[in-house]
Amino acid sequence: MENVVIIGTGCAGLTAAIYTARANLRPLVLTGVMPGGLLTTTSTVENFPGFPEGIDGFELMTRMQAQAEKFGAQVKFGTVESVDLSKKPIRLMVDGEAVETQTLIIASGAGHRHLGVPGEHELEKKGVTYCATCDGALPMFRNQPLVVVGGGDSACEEANYLTRFSSEVYLIHRRDTLRASRIMADRTLANPKIKPVWDSVVTAVDDVAAGKVTGVRLKNLKTGAETRLGCAGVFVAIGHLPNSQLFQGQLALDEAGYFVLGRGMGTSVPGVFVAGDCADSVYRQAITAAGMGCAAAIEAERYLAGLCG
């Protein structure tokens, strides 16, 4: 039986792994389908303390994993299929194998929110994408007009990144002010290759019949005007949805699906802790996720010490 199982290898999960490993608990750390979490899809992380020049997101996560493994964490590629929190030990099914553990730290992160408009799903990977750093350099996007949807830091980051490859980037936002941080918003609006399209939403992505993106249909929310904008790619950056579906009915979730945090990163089930983006609808930063992972690890350690006497 494991002392600690950690679900997720983003900033929260790997920080929890570093702390529990240093406490000699040999945590089992399950990667899920995206080892390293969402940060691996970011370009330069400029605001993680200790890296004044910035650090590549993938490199930061690779280093965190190496640090956890150095202290004895067992990082395993695996997806959790089901969890039974109703009795002790806690039981998980991981790729068809049963795993038992005394404590569980859920750091399952968040996935990309989708637009839910016609053409989006059908043209995914055929011009519709959720990650500029993963897909931006593909030949189909080179020297072509591209669309980024969203007004937050992610959308601005994606738009700026895409200017390296595209002829121009249209930033479609449903309001007329960006939600992004000031520094990111200023950088974006100052970029001559980025053309904001305010007060507008994408109502459909063309062209499913052609099997590739040829444009988007837009609706101006203030005037009601409907237009079409030609483009070769649509980069959707409208926020995230917490990965908590597995725990529905077993742990308290808010209406958006985020875990409801109890005292000391705890949940309604003793020995089960949550950390990172799956439990944070407010800050969602690499450093806050790491801090939550650290706190969850300390609490798991205390819980285990309490079991021993």
Active site residues: 131, 134-135
Residue 292 Cβ vs ligand NAP, minimum distance, rounded to whole Å:
14
Rg, Å, the chain Cα set: 21
Judged by beta carbon, residue 27 or residue 242, the one nearer ligand NAP is 242
Judged by beta carbon, residue 153 or residue 206, the one nearer ligand NAP is 153
Judged by beta carbon, residue 88 or residue 113, the one nearer ligand NAP is 113
Which residues of this chain interact with ligand NAP, rule CB under 6 A? Answer: 47, 115, 149-155, 157, 174-175, 179, 181, 201, 237-240, 284
Residue 171 Cβ vs ligand NAP, minimum distance, rounded to whole Å:
10
Residue 193 Cβ vs ligand NAP, minimum distance, rounded to whole Å:
19
Which residues share a beta bridge with 124? 128
Residue 185 Cβ vs ligand NAP, minimum distance, rounded to whole Å:
10
Strands (E), the chain: 2-7, 28-30, 44-45, 55-56, 74-76, 80-84, 90-94, 97-106, 110-112, 128-129, 145-149, 168-172, 194-197, 200-206, 215-220, 226-230, 233-236, 240-242, 272-274
Judged by beta carbon, residue 239 or residue 266, the one nearer ligand NAP is 239
Instruction: Say whether the peptide bond before residue 207 is cis (omega within 30 degrees of 0).
Output: yes
- Spatial neighbors of 72 by CB under 8 A, at least 6 apart, are 21, 24, 26
